[in-house]
């Protein structure tokens, strides 16, 4: 049942006329009602996965309302049961409430009273079912399969990974920051016969040009000032395993030339020597931009792009697979709870709404950090309205709507710049102090967008 579906109600009353009238009342209030004249038929239609509310008369033949209530408790104590009686038995009401009945209504009752009680009970049941689904999904998610998702795009991605993992084909992975490119590279390694070798990762965007060649190709002692001893480069260290080059679009031009030769010849020459060493290499490269688009490729060599582009895997951003967000959130919340030694809190309606409506510009990384703060009790959803909420809430005052729009622009800019403060401030065109003031005001955590 989705949030837009009418909440189901099982209604039991042996008074046929009253049963019909009450059913009509609840259907007019927007509920999907299944009516039964006897409790045994209602029990046959109930199971633990029932996502709605039970409304039952008490005074009935064979199985009365209290006996029905006891059986529902045994089936699932979280199913809300509203008991109705025409006798006004206060002692009975007190006992039923103590035993866990959601509400007790005496006849004759106002139709609004019953409809409001059922609406509150249905919302409670919806949250219980959503929390249960998140927990079950998290339990089913294995540490060995972090590419969680049930959308067609993710199923297709996992299928492709299985098909190409045990080949030696080089792979180019594209996707936004935080979408899981290294996870994909790691799975390609672990699902291949190279799994016994080394998985060696290098972020080309974090190393200065003076260092990256030594990191990649290695060097001999005395090859340059400060090279006091021999060093095996990342390429040679990954021989027999997998080399993962992240942010390859940031690789310096001179290094690209050398890397192209390595890919073509499968050999490496460390700095400070003429010795050529063969390597058993499988390269997985990742880029934040579309290297096939000349306008985005920039200074990246076209021939190197085509050499890497044997197989290209594209990871969709979270905003394009929203149905996977609750599943991922459940996984990350369970992982955070184990890490922090805390129980996973129940997710409120506000948290569920945020999961559904937020655009997640920081992708999986942002969601994982959100789950950690949620488990620690540090997440204030009121300070983090979604873009959808900002656009749809036309009844909100103008200052509030402007605040929401401003917060979403800041989040998008942070996501686009990997959480880098200097680049984000330049893009926004505001002073540093103003930037930090706005982060605090909108409850934005910069580290959610950082690499």
**In this structure, what token pair is assigned to residue 52?**
């709605």
pLDDT score, position 143: 42
Q: Which of 110-124, 135-149, 211-225, 307-321 has the lowest mean pLDDT?
A: 135-149
In percent, the amount of the chain with pLDDT more than 90 equals 36
Confidence of residue 136 (pLDDT cuts 50, 70, 90): low
Domain over 8-140 is classified CATH 3.40.50.2300: yes
Nearest to 424, CA basis, from 390, 450, 395, 393: 450
pLDDT score, position 137: 56
Tens of pLDDT, residue by residue over 234-256, are: 999 999 999 999 999 999 988 99
> Cα separation of 329 and 367, whole Å?
7
pLDDT score, position 218: 86
pLDDT of 93 above 90: no
pLDDT score, position 135: 64
pLDDT score, position 36: 95
Q: Within 13 Å, how many C-alpha atoms sit on residue 213's CB side?
A: 18
Whether 130 and 43 have beta carbons less than 8 Å apart is answered as: no
Residue 268, phi then psi, degrees to nearest 5 = -135, 145
pLDDT score, position 385: 47
Select from 3.65.10.10, 1.25.60.10, 3.40.50.300, 3.30.43.10 the CATH code of 152-316: 3.40.50.300
Tens of pLDDT, residue by residue over 208-218, are: 877 888 889 88
- The number of beta carbons lying within 10 Å of the beta carbon of residue 416 is 17
**Residues 261-283, mean pLDDT to the nearest whole number:** 90
Tens of pLDDT, residue by residue over 75-89, are: 999 999 999 887 666
CA 182 to chain centre: 16
pLDDT score, position 249: 92
Establish whether domains 8-140 and 152-316 are of one fold: yes
> Cα separation of 170 and 157, whole Å?
16
Nearest to 333, CA basis, from 125, 137, 176: 137
The SS3 call for residue 443 is coil
Domain-wise residue ranges, the chain: 8-140, 152-316, 320-449
Tens of pLDDT, residue by residue over 39-66, are: 999 999 999 889 999 999 988 988 988 8
> Which residue has tokens 């002073």?
431
DSSP 90: H
Sign of torsion over alpha carbons 286, 425, 401, 385: positive
pLDDT of 416 above 50: yes
Sorted by sequence, the CB contacts under 8 Å of residue 194 that are 6+ apart come out as 240, 241, 242, 282
pLDDT score, position 37: 94
Q: Which residue has the higher pLDDT, 336 or 207?
A: 336
Which range in 194-198, 219-223, 322-326, 400-404 is most confidently predicted, on average pLDDT?
Answer: 194-198
Sorted by sequence, the CB contacts under 8 Å of residue 119 that are 6+ apart come out as 7, 29
**In this structure, what token pair is assigned to residue 328?**
């991922």
In percent, the amount of the chain with pLDDT more than 70 equals 90
Nearest to 332, CA basis, from 123, 183, 126, 127: 183
> Cα separation of 116 and 20, whole Å?
19
Tens of pLDDT, residue by residue over 365-393, are: 899 999 999 999 887 664 444 444 444 55
> Which residue has tokens 């059986």?
71
**In this structure, what token pair is assigned to residue 57?**
């008369």
Q: Which residue has the higher pLDDT, 380 or 140?
A: 380
Specify the pairing of strand 32-36 against strand 242-246: unpaired
Whether 217 and 277 have beta carbons less than 8 Å apart is answered as: no
Report how many helices (DSSP H) and strands (DSSP E) the chain contains, helices first: 19, 14
CA dihedral 65, 67, 72, 74 (to 10 degrees): 160
pLDDT score, position 390: 46
> Cα separation of 279 and 101, whole Å?
70
pLDDT score, position 22: 93
* Mean pLDDT computed over every residue of the chain: 85
Q: Angle of helix 398-416 relative to helix 432-442, nearest 10 degrees?
A: 110
pTM comes to 0.55
pLDDT score, position 383: 45
């Amino acid at each position: 049942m989705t949030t837009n579906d009418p909440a189901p109600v099982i209604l039991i009353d042996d008074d046929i006329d009253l049963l019909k009238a009450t059913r009509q009342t609840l259907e007019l209030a927007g509920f999907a009602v299944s009516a039964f004249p006897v409790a045994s038929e209602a029990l046959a239609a109930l199971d633990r996965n029932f996502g709605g509310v039970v409304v039952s008369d008490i005074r009935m033949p064979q199985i009365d309302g209290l006996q029905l209530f006891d059986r529902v408790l045994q089936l699932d104590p979280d199913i809300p049961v509203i008991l109705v009686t025409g006798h006004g038995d206060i002692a009975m009401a007190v006992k039923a409430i103590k035993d866990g009945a959601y509400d007790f209504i005496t006849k004759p009752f106002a139709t609004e009273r019953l409809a409001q009680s059922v609406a509150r009970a249905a919302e409670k049941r919806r949250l219980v079912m959503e929390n249960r689904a998140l927990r079950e999904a998290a339990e089913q998610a294995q540490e060995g399969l972090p590419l969680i998702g049930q959308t067609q795009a993710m199923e297709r991605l996992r299928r492709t990974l299985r098909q190409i993992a045990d080949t030696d084909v080089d792979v180019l992975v594209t996707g936004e920051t935080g979408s899981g490119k290294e996870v994909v590279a790691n799975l390609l390694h672990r699902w291949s016969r190279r799994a016994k070798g080394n998985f060696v990762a290098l972020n080309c965007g974090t190393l200065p040009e003076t260092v990256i060649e030594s990191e990649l190709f290695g060097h001999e002692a005395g090859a340059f000032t400060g090279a006091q001893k021999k060093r095996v480069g990342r390429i040679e260290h990954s021989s027999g395993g997998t080399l993962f080059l992240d942010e390859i679009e940031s690789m310096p031009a001179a290094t690209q030339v050398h890397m192209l030769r390595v890919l073509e010849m499968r050999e490496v020459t460390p700095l400070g020597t003429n010795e050529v060493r063969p390597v058993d290499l499988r390269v997985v490269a990742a880029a934040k931009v579309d290297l096939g688009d000349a306008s985005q490729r920039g200074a990246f060599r076209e021939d190197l792009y085509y050499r890497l582009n044997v197989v290209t895997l594209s990871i969709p951003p979270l905003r394009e697979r929203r149905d996977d967000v609750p599943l991922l959130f459940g996984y990350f919340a369970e992982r955070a709870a184990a890490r922090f030694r805390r129980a996973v809190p129940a997710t409120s309606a506000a948290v569920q709404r945020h999961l559904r409506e937020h655009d997640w510009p920081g992708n999986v990384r942002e969601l994982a950090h959100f789950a950690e703060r949620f488990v620690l009790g540090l997440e204030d959803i009121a300070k983090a309205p979604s873009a959808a909420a900002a656009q749809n809430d036309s009844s909100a005052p103008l200052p509030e709507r402007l605040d929401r729009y401003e917060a979403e622009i800041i989040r998008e800019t942070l996501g686009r710049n990997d959480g880098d403060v200097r680049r984000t401030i330049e893009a926004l065109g505001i002073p540093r102090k103003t930037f930090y003031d706005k982060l605090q005001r909108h409850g934005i955590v910069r580290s959610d967008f950082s690499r």
